[in-house]
């Protein structure tokens, strides 16, 4: 049987921008710790089309709405969204919105 790995050592300080959120899940309260990723620096890696996609995504547009706005297919938009997620290291529209939001 494999021996469990030792845990990673804790950093001396919490990450910059550490946030604590409390969420109600049914009758339970869940505490979530999060911090912004370095997505702001990665925005320059996006193509012009991907930048427009990000702008429309954070406004709440669906892939179909984006496709109609840009004159492309939903499949093209879906592939561009996947590319944006990969480049920025996010996995959802909510993470994307947090990643590109200006610091407050």
* Distance between CA atoms of residues 63 and 84, nearest Å: 13
The predicted structure's pLDDT at residue 2: 61
48-58 vs 74-88: helix axis angle to the nearest 10? 90
The domain 38-100 having CATH identifier 1.10.10.10: the answer here is yes
Domain boundaries, the chain: 38-100
CA distance 39 to 36: 8
Cα distance between residue 16 and residue 20, in whole Å: 12
Residue among 17, 49, 36 nearest 89 (CA): 36
pLDDT tens string, the chain, 104 residues long: the values are: 666 667 666 667 766 667 778 888 888 888 877 766 555 557 788 999 999 999 999 899 999 999 999 999 999 999 999 999 998 888 899 888 888 876 54
**Predicted pLDDT of residue 10:** 65
């Amino acid at each position: 049987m494999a021996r469990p790995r030792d845990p990673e050592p804790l950093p001396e300080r919490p990450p910059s921008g550490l946030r604590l959120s409390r969420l109600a899940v049914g009758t339970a309260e869940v505490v979530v710790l999060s911090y912004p990723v370095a997505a702001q620096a990665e925005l320059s890696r996006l193509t012009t089309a991907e930048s427009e996609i990000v702008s429309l995504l954070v406004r709440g547009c669906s892939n179909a709405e984006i496709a109609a706005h840009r004159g492309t297919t939903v499949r093209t938009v879906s592939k561009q969204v996947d590319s944006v997620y990969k480049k920025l290291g996010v996995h959802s529209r909510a993470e994307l919105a947090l990643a590109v939001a200006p610091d407050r």
